Amino acid sequence: MANIILIGYRGTGKSVVAKELGKKLHRNIISTDTIFIEKYGDISKFVNNNGWEEFRKLEEEIINKIKCRDTIIDCGGGVIESKTNINKLKQLGDVFWLKASVDVIVSRIQDCQNRPALTSNNDFITEIKTVLKKRNPLYSIASDIEIITDNKSIKEIVKEISNFINKTKICIPIVETNVHSAKEEILKVNEVADIIELRLDYIEDIDVLKFKQILESVKIPVIVTCRIKEQGGTVDIDDSVRKQIFNCALENKCEYIDIEYGTKWAKEFIGKSEDTKVILSFHNFSETPNLLELNKIYDMINAQNPDIVKFITTANSINDNFEIFRLLENKNNLISFCMNQKGEISRILAPKYGSLITYSSLNTGKVSAPGQVNIEEMLELYNIQNINTKTNIFGIIGEFAENSKSKYMHNPAFDENQLNACFIPFKISSVDDLDKFMNNFKSHNFKGAAVTIPYKIDIIKHLNIIDNTAKRIGAVNTIISTEGVFYGYNTDYIGAITAIQTVADLFLKKVLVLGAGGAARAIIYGLILEKSEITIANRTFKTAQKLADEFHVNAIKMDNINEKLSQFDIIINTTSVGMYPNIDKSIINTFPPNKIVMDIVYKPLMTKFLKNAKKANCTIITGEKMLIYQAIAQQKIWTGKEPDYEIMEQAIVNPTHFQ
């Protein structure tokens, strides 16, 4: 679990809130001031002798060394004066800014003698006002959640913070068919999830005895579910058995039982136990209704007074997820997301929009509902434990976005730069879908996106400013929103040119571009900037000629292409020939020796085209280099920072991502 970090001015109650939170949540507490005192003695004396600058330097060292989880970190009031501290704290967990008005601060700290002055020549109240004026914008940048403490008891503040903390739990359902294998799976889930769901309808001939045996292995909070067939259950379990199991769950103080909405006897369990919460659930397996309808159904379920409402729908379009995000607004007893591949983003972004639980699976391929993302991806790739209301959302817009490797590059790059950002696939099936999606993208303040086939042109009408390069290429592969203005760029050409330049200079080089599609356009644009002499060859000569005319370069026919190769220094394949699954195909079979040969196909990394080139002792450039360099350029646009090539490469050449 992520740490809880408390920041704020002196007298906003950080230390006492930390203590009470620690008790309530059973978490350890560390205080940066206490660590300082243990190392360097009394802070007032230290500041008098050495000054604030030296204090801040050492404080930064202390914060930089913090390595803990599940802990409450009580920070000194001025930690936010260092940008390094802000970045580090954001990386460590959820940052809460405890705020108080000047009057309240004065009343709380005026009697305390042991606080060194922060400014010179100021009276007590002027000092507070002066320092707050400077620090408030920094507290705002540093924090994920702001808590106003005026007129609130410590208990109330602690409750408010607890409501935010890990609001979204990750639950893994057990979908085994017998007690033995269920117990084995539970042992694995105990280690990685917040909650286990026992889908007892999967167990053959389930009864109370079997339930008890399974329950013995559970070491974390548990949801007991006997799903009925109409709501996705596997077998019909007799009502009397279901009731016996739920009663047994209550006797054993199981944390949750899940009963389907509409079950006549559900009310017998609602409010019956202080230890066991009742989830009243409803699944729509065909669609996601509109918001009005969703709210009506939520109200109907909620009217039964369950502890938690679970309302799951099916996404037929990426835009259905946004209906669920709207449904979640201002509700604190709701589990809601969409099933299906197209609903994946509602599962990943559950912590941003406040679904109490999101469901994941072990890496075994066994899922209890379509669209479940496995736990490794949830934790390692999407960093779901760090997603919160302030997380900036990026993604890839494409018809087959789910197959894109870009998430493996961009998420580690955000991590490396300690940014509160997440990169997810936006699977968009039509131009109409794209139009609606861009409205949602804007209204939900998503930050940026990569754009891929087939929307690099269609995206343009949704943007306010297109940079000149993208205009000239006629396609946008990168968008960013800056203060509500949407910009479009093209980084494909940078990727290709940078990749070639790792082995050769392009100035006045004779370059043969095989193919005349979208990627060829971007590459030709880049080659022109580098003053190469360009020739295009394409299966459909007319297309090559058209492109050549537009960019004032040469076009040749593909006939007898092998015989024409020796006149070129560099040969680039921009066609999709040789791409998985057609890995035995190559557009060129025999190369002349010692040429520079690049293939932009990256699946597989070593294409037949490159293997043939290698046989002729050519210098080869694999397709993932273009992909990585264009992604690095995207990161620069989105974050202003350039990630390490190695970090991106490591993610993309991981063989498991290329199966």
Residues that bind ligand NAP (CB under 6 A): 453, 492, 495, 515-520, 538-540, 543, 574-577, 579, 587, 600-602, 623, 626-627, 630
Considering the complex, state which of residue 103 and residue 549 has its C-beta at the smaller distance from ligand NAP: 549
Considering the complex, state which of residue 316 and residue 543 has its C-beta at the smaller distance from ligand NAP: 543
Smallest distance, Å, CB 559 to ligand NAP? 13
Of 90, 310, 456, 509, the catalytic one is 456
Distance from C-alpha of 494 to C-alpha of 523, rounded to nearest angstrom: 8
CB 7 within 8 A of CB 31: no
Peptide bond into 137 cis (omega under 30): no
Peptide bond into 581 cis (omega under 30): yes
352 is a catalytic site residue = no
State both tokens at 279.
């989830």
Cα angle: 511, vertex 515, 516; to 5 degrees:
100
Distance from C-alpha of 123 to C-alpha of 116, rounded to nearest angstrom: 13
State both tokens at 590.
């025999």
Smallest distance, Å, CB 324 to ligand NAP? 32
Considering the complex, state which of residue 256 and residue 426 has its C-beta at the smaller distance from ligand NAP: 426
Peptide bond into 604 cis (omega under 30): yes
For the range 533-536, what are the long-range contacts, defined as Cβ-Cβ under 8 Å and sequence gap of 24 or more?
533/508, 533/509, 535/510, 535/511, 535/568, 536/512
Smallest distance, Å, CB 433 to ligand NAP? 20
CB 75 within 8 A of CB 7: yes
Distance from C-alpha of 653 to C-alpha of 26, rounded to nearest angstrom: 41
Smallest distance, Å, CB 541 to ligand NAP? 9
Smallest distance, Å, CB 575 to ligand NAP? 3
**Residue with the CB atom nearest ligand NAP in the bound state:** 517
Amino acid at 174: I
Considering the complex, state which of residue 356 and residue 577 has its C-beta at the smaller distance from ligand NAP: 577
CB 418 within 8 A of CB 88: yes
Considering the complex, state which of residue 79 and residue 536 has its C-beta at the smaller distance from ligand NAP: 536
Considering the complex, state which of residue 319 and residue 477 has its C-beta at the smaller distance from ligand NAP: 477
State both tokens at 490.
């093209």
Cα angle: 578, vertex 581, 584; to 5 degrees:
45
Smallest distance, Å, CB 630 to ligand NAP? 6
Give the 3-state secondary structure of residue 631: helix
Smallest distance, Å, CB 534 to ligand NAP? 15
What is the 3 state secondary structure string of 289-309?
CCHHHHHHHHHHHHCCCCCEE
Give the 3-state secondary structure of residue 87: helix
Considering the complex, state which of residue 179 and residue 572 has its C-beta at the smaller distance from ligand NAP: 572
- List, by residue number, the catalytic residues: 456
